[in-house]
Amino acid sequence: MNTIDYIYRFDPKNPSIKPPPPDAEAAKKTLEDGNRMFATWMESCRTSDVSHGEARYVVQCNGLEVGMLRQHGSLPKQAPFAVVVGCSDARVPTEMLFGQGFNDLFVIRVAGNVMGDVCMGSIDFALTALSDSVKVVVMLGHSGCGAVTAAVDSYLMPMKFWSKSISPMLRSITQRIFVAVREAANGFKEVWGPDARLMPGYREALINSAVCLNAAQAAFDLRQEVERAGKWEIEVLFGAFNLHTHQVCMPLDPRAEHDPEGVNLAFAPTNPRDFQSLAIQMAELLKPAEVSKTKSSKTPTTPPQPAGDDELQESRKHRR
């Protein structure tokens, strides 16, 4: 395994080296490209394949934005192009995994990336005070999320949820994830059958699906907030960071290997059907081999409606 040089590069002679993305589409691409580069580099270090490119990961920073070139007394203006709501998990460093630096992202991190009043207040601030620069809002979940795991375990073993060892504050985080867990469980019942929860691997699969549904739910709520604020030009996106591949994607396949094409941020759901589609898509993705055999020999299955970009884009068109 090779070492990683992760470098923030400031060039005082060329302070405007990295112009901000002009619109939502460009902002989405900037985040996806940043993550693709980061994940590819992490992979090349893991596999010791560093034959192509420089043996460093470099994030270009605009010297003006961090105040390196400021006049006496003046401060750099805050101008992030994206708001990112992510989990507090220490293994998911927001700026780093998107390949971004100073003044690029307005980041809110809370366990389980749940949307509470205070979190929503921070987003409201960004939408109001930073509306000149913000182009996208991103809800980011991740594989192996402890908060989602706690919610799934409480869902499967309700007595655990009411245990005295869980503080009321912690319980309030778990509670906000239950809707996503329930939606995910419905997807498994539909695809795996009524005895889904008795099947091997069910808990792990439920956690992974709930991570996606939880991010989708929060993105749906965020979209409504953005619309309430009348910011129609701001796009709301969601994704999940895979701790294994270091890639941000939707849906999340925990068994996936690194794939340069595997990075994507999805558009926020616009109606409840989108959640159902995503739950079924995840249940299909994580289906054990024995379920596939049973299904194909006993019942003709209806193919699931994928909750991919195309469908979500389409429903957004209808809404507008």
Amino acid identity at 29: K
Tokens 């655990």 found at = 160
- Report which secondary-structure segment, H or E, holds 285: helix 272-285
Q: Helical H runs in the chain?
A: 24-46, 94-97, 117-129, 146-156, 158-161, 168-192, 202-228, 272-285, 289-298, 309-319
The minimum distance between CB 88 and Zn ion, in angstroms, equals: 7
The minimum distance between CB 205 and Zn ion, in angstroms, equals: 17
Q: Which stretch binds Zn ion (CB under 5 A): 83-91, 186-194, 234-242, 259-267?
A: 83-91
The minimum distance between CB 145 and Zn ion, in angstroms, equals: 3
Structure tokens at 38: 């980061």
218 touches Zn ion by CB under 5 A: no
190 touches Zn ion by CB under 5 A: no
89 touches Zn ion by CB under 5 A: yes
CA 101 – CA 98 distance, rounded (Å): 9
145 touches Zn ion by CB under 5 A: yes
Q: Which stretch binds Zn ion (CB under 5 A): 43-51, 86-94, 150-158, 199-207?
A: 86-94
* Residues in binding contact with Zn ion, number by CB under 5 A: 3
List of residues 6+ apart from 251 with CB closer than 8 A? 212, 240, 278, 281, 282, 285, 307
Q: Which stretch binds Zn ion (CB under 5 A): 54-62, 76-84, 85-93, 177-185?
A: 85-93
Question: Cis peptide before 306, with omega less than 30 degrees from 0?
Answer: no
Q: Which stretch binds Zn ion (CB under 5 A): 7-15, 125-133, 143-151, 298-306?
A: 143-151
Tokens 């965020």 found at = 222
61 touches Zn ion by CB under 5 A: no
Question: Residue 65 or 89: which CB sits closer to Zn ion?
Answer: 89
**Contact with Zn ion (CB under 5 A): which of 24, 59, 85, 87?**
87
Question: Residue 62 or 143: which CB sits closer to Zn ion?
Answer: 143
> Could you give the 3-state DSSP secondary structure of residue 223?
helix
CA 281 – CA 213 distance, rounded (Å): 11
Q: By CB under 5 A, name the binding residues for Zn ion.
A: 87, 89, 145
